[in-house]
């Protein structure tokens, strides 16, 4: 610990931190533009000047100066104030001062700090510099005349996103931030540079000129675009969600979110189901709730209960899964599943289907084996942790599956399943990397587990864990990476067949009634001979195959519980109300149970959540990760031929909301270079 004096106050601070960080520990506010605690130090803006003794008789940049024992630091002297005012005047020389028309207005660091250190008028009478705007794709809007060259965006793209597409050209006054050759940013995290930009040089293109921040209602919630459960803020006006921004959570997403999380929200306005429908004479017709419920009741009364099947989709919350499970059990059916892709998962032991290492502890790993997983598109935020481990610890990565740019070096061991067998037998060269590592880990993707031989792949993965000592002490290196927000919650609630080898296709083969709870990813041709009830919020594949449609609420329209891939129970909050006659899903199922003559034993969300805790006590522990015991699982057998794929092909369109999004369609066209139609276009 170093002893320092800050504005007359003595205190001890950790060795190795900067003067700026020491001042913040002392409760002093230091203005800055280029400095960011999650990026490398650049020292460009000079706004963070302080007076330090012993040292030269001039202000020093506190962001780049390591703290030393015996330092006397002054943050509020006349010299410091005058220096900061000079820096501010310099920064504003070429700035267009167009705050009234800037989307950053109200959220601009430059605007805020100019109130404290700016002059009443400029002494600069010459013409201001003008810089042409740069094209950075469908998500980021540029006005580069406002840029102060803090390079936050450049450092984020290089250090965190791992996509070296941004940089500076020119010297002196002619410095410009650009993509060199104008093109769309290809990172799945590209829009985070908008949050990082301290001025209005980089703003949101889809959100441009839609609203001012003081017009918006802010709601803290949880993301469902992947299985990470990133903490988000939903900004709405009236009944419309206008934007999604990240909230800081160091255990999960730090302060980043993926572009899909941020921009798929426009899909909430398109192709919505806002009233019940029933199929008459081959066509879906508008109906009321009573008509829809009566038709369902008539069909249920005429079939064997074991012929009634329930399928939960990827975005479904735990409250809805619980109520559907209880309804099916009350009717006499135990035919239900939450694994639309047919993934083989051991639901009997929680440590066998969650990400045991936890997201934050990925940074401690020194070796990693990816099996049928591409974390860059399945979980971009988790991928940043792997990249950070590579930067800080030299993480060595081996990947079994299709090759691709993970944003960090990786040994592509091949896509054939034979490679996995060789590693499990200890005869592959990469075994030495895993065996010599102190904290090795394995990430098993849904692409591998969804193969017909997923049980054999799971067994071989467990052999690798045992052979290389991935589970020892408080370190558990066995991880299953889910791609669906509702998957772990469904497994925790036991919404799976008793036999884990039984797949969705098996249980719907002879079904006479199929209840699709937000399930759109199965082969709907297999449902042609059954009476299909679809409950969801978008007119996607499930709605097209339905005989009855019950309009539900999207994740922004309800308070609900989700469990992320590491087993963390989190709760979202309602930001807006559902459109039209749509209702929260569990309330629909509760009302239906009355009509079917099997009323569920709860009529409030508190009663429902008490039932969830009864099914699994883990739901009583919010926002915590409970260490679970891992044990070997899977089945012995021979691997089938063929490559081990990733579970997601198009990052921008992976669920009903993103497939309805025009912004995601544009990203698909401009970045992926494929058809840019939305998933609901004819």
Q: Which has the minimum average pLDDT: 125-134, 165-174, 481-490, 667-676?
A: 667-676
- Residue 58 is classified by DSSP as S
Q: What is the pLDDT of residues 584-641, one digit of tens each?
A: 999 999 999 999 999 999 999 999 999 999 999 999 999 999 999 999 998 888 888 8
Q: What average pLDDT score do residues 462-476 get?
A: 95
Q: What is the pLDDT of residue 681?
A: 53
Q: What are phi and psi of 327, to 5 degrees?
A: -65, -45
Whether 268 shows a pLDDT value over 90: the answer reads yes
Distance of CA 440 to the CA centre of its chain: 24
- Confidence class for position 74, pLDDT limits 50, 70, 90: very high
Q: What mean pLDDT value characterizes the chain?
A: 94
Whether 93 shows a pLDDT value over 80: the answer reads yes
Residue 653 token pair: 């369109």
| Cβ atoms of residues 630 and 476 within 8 Å | yes
**Burial status of residue 673 (CB atoms within 10 A of its CB: 0-12, 13-18, 19 or more):** exposed
Angle between the N-to-C axes of helices 109-117 and 78-92, in degrees from 0 to 180, rounded to the nearest 10? 130
Q: What is the pLDDT of residue 682?
A: 44
Q: What average pLDDT score do residues 405-426 get?
A: 93
- Confidence class for position 677, pLDDT limits 50, 70, 90: low
Across 257-280, b (16+ Cβ under 10 Å) vs e yields: bbbbbbbbbbbbebbbbebbbbbe
User: 212: phi > 0 → left, psi -120 to 50 → alpha, else beta; which?
Assistant: beta
Name the residue with tokens 């002490």. 473
Q: What is the pLDDT of residues 160-196, one digit of tens each?
A: 999 999 999 988 888 899 987 888 899 999 999 999 9
Q: What is the pLDDT of residue 552?
A: 97
Q: What is the pLDDT of residues 564-595, one digit of tens each?
A: 999 999 999 999 999 999 999 999 999 999 99
Q: 283 forms bridges with which residues in the sheet?
A: 280
* Percent of the chain topping pLDDT 70: 99
- Residue 462 is classified by DSSP as H
Q: Which residues contact 657 (CB under 8 A, 6 or more apart)?
A: 225, 264, 265, 267, 268, 315, 538, 554
Cα 507 to Cα 138: distance, rounded to the nearest angstrom: 42
Q: What is the pLDDT of residues 308-349, one digit of tens each?
A: 999 999 999 999 999 999 999 999 999 999 999 999 999 999
| Cβ atoms of residues 69 and 2 within 8 Å | yes
Q: What is the pLDDT of residue 675?
A: 66
- Confidence class for position 678, pLDDT limits 50, 70, 90: low
Across 27-47, b (16+ Cβ under 10 Å) vs e yields: ebebbbbbbbebbeebebbbb
- If DSSP codes are grouped into helix, strand and coil, which group holds residue 328? helix
Neighbours of 500 (CB within 10 A): 22
Q: What average pLDDT score do residues 369-397 get?
A: 96
Neighbours of 112 (CB within 10 A): 12
Angle between the N-to-C axes of helices 289-301 and 585-595, in degrees from 0 to 180, rounded to the nearest 10? 60
The string of DSSP codes covering 223-241 is --SSSS--EEEEEEETTEE
Q: Which residues contact 115 (CB under 8 A, 6 or more apart)?
A: none
Q: What average pLDDT score do residues 72-97 get?
A: 93
pTM of the entire predicted model: 0.94
List helix spans (H) across 368-453. Answer: 375-378, 380-393, 417-425, 430-436, 446-449
Whether 31 shows a pLDDT value over 80: the answer reads yes
């Amino acid at each position: 610990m170093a002893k320092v004096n800050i504005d007359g106050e003595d205190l001890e601070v950790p060795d190795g931190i900067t003067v700026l960080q020491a001042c913040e520990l002392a409760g002093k506010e230091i203005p800055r533009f280029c400095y960011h605690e999650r990026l490398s130090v650049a020292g460009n803006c000079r706004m963070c000047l302080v007076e330090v003794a012993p040292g030269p008789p001039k202000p020093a940049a506190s962001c780049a100066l390591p703290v030393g024992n015996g330092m006397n630091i002054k943050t509020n002297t006349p010299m410091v104030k005058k220096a900061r005012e000079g820096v501010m005047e310099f920064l504003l020389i070429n700035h267009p001062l167009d705050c009234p028309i800037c989307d950053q207005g109200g959220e601009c660091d430059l605007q805020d700090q100019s109130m404290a250190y700016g002059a009443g008028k400029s002494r600069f009478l010459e013409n201001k510099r003008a810089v042409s705007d740069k094209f950075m794709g469908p998500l980021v809007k540029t006005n580069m005349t406002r840029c102060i060259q803090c390079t936050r965006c450049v450092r984020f793209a290089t250090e965190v996103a791992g996509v070296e597409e941004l940089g500076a050209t020119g010297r002196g006054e002619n410095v410009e931030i650009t993509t060199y050759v104008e093109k769309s940013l290809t990172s799945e995290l590209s829009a985070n540079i908008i949050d990082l930009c301290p001025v209005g040089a980089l703003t949101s293109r889809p959100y441009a000129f839609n609203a001012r921040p003081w017009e918006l209602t802010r709601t803290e919630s949880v993301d469902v675009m992947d299985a990470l459960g990133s903490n988000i803020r939903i900004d709405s006006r009236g009944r419309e969600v206008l934007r999604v921004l990240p909230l800081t959570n160091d255990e999960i997403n730090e302060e980043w979110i993926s572009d899909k999380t941020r921009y798929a929200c426009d899909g909430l306005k398109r192709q919505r189901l806002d009233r019940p429908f029933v199929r008459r004479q081959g066509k879906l017709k508008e109906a009321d709730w009573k008509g829809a419920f009566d038709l369902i009741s008539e069909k249920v009364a005429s079939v064997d209960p074991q012929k009634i099947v329930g399928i939960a989709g990827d975005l479904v919350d735990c409250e809805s899964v619980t109520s559907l499970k209880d309804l099916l059990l009350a009717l006499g059916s135990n035919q239900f599943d939450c694994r639309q892709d047919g993934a083989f998962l051991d639901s009997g032991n929680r440590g066998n289907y969650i990400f045991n290492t936890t997201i934050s502890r990925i940074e401690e790993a020194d070796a990693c084996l990816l099996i049928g997983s591409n974390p860059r598109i399945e979980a971009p935020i988790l991928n940043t942790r792997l990249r950070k481990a590579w930067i800080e610890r030299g993480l060595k990565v081996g990947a079994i599956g299709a090759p691709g740019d993970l944003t960090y070096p990786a040994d592509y061991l091949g896509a054939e399943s034979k490679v996995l067998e060789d590693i499990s037998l200890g005869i592959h060269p990469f075994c030495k990397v895993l065996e010599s590592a102190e904290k090795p880990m394995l990430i098993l993707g849904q692409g591998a587990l969804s193969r017909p031989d997923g049980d054999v792949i799971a067994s071989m993965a467990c052999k690798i864990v045992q052979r290389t000592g991935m589970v020892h002490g408080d370190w558990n290196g066995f991880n299953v990476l889910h791609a669906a927000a509702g998957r772990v919650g469904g497994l925790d609630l036991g919404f799976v067949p008793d036999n884990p080898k039984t797949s969705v296709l098996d249980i719907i083969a002879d079904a006479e009634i199929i209840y699709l709870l937000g399930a759109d990813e199965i082969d709907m041709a297999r449902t042609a001979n059954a009476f299909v009830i679809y409950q969801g919020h978008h007119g996607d594949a499930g709605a097209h195959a339905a005989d009855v449609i019950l309009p539900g609420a999207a994740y922004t329209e309800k308070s609900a519980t989700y469990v992320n891939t590491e087993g963390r129970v989190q709760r979202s909050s309602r930001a807006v109300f559902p459109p039209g006659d749509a209702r929260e899903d569990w309330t629909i199922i509760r009302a239906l149970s009355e009509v079917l003559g099997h009323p569920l034993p709860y009529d409030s969300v508190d009663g429902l959540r008490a039932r969830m805790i009864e099914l699994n006590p883990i739901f009583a522990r919010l926002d915590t990760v409970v260490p679970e015991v891992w044990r070997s699982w899977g089945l012995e057998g021979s691997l089938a031929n063929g490559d081990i794929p990733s579970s997601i092909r198009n990052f921008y369109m992976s669920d009903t909301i993103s497939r309805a999004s025009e912004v995601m369609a544009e990203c698909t066209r401009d970045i992926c270079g494929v058809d840019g139609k939305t998933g609901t276009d004819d």
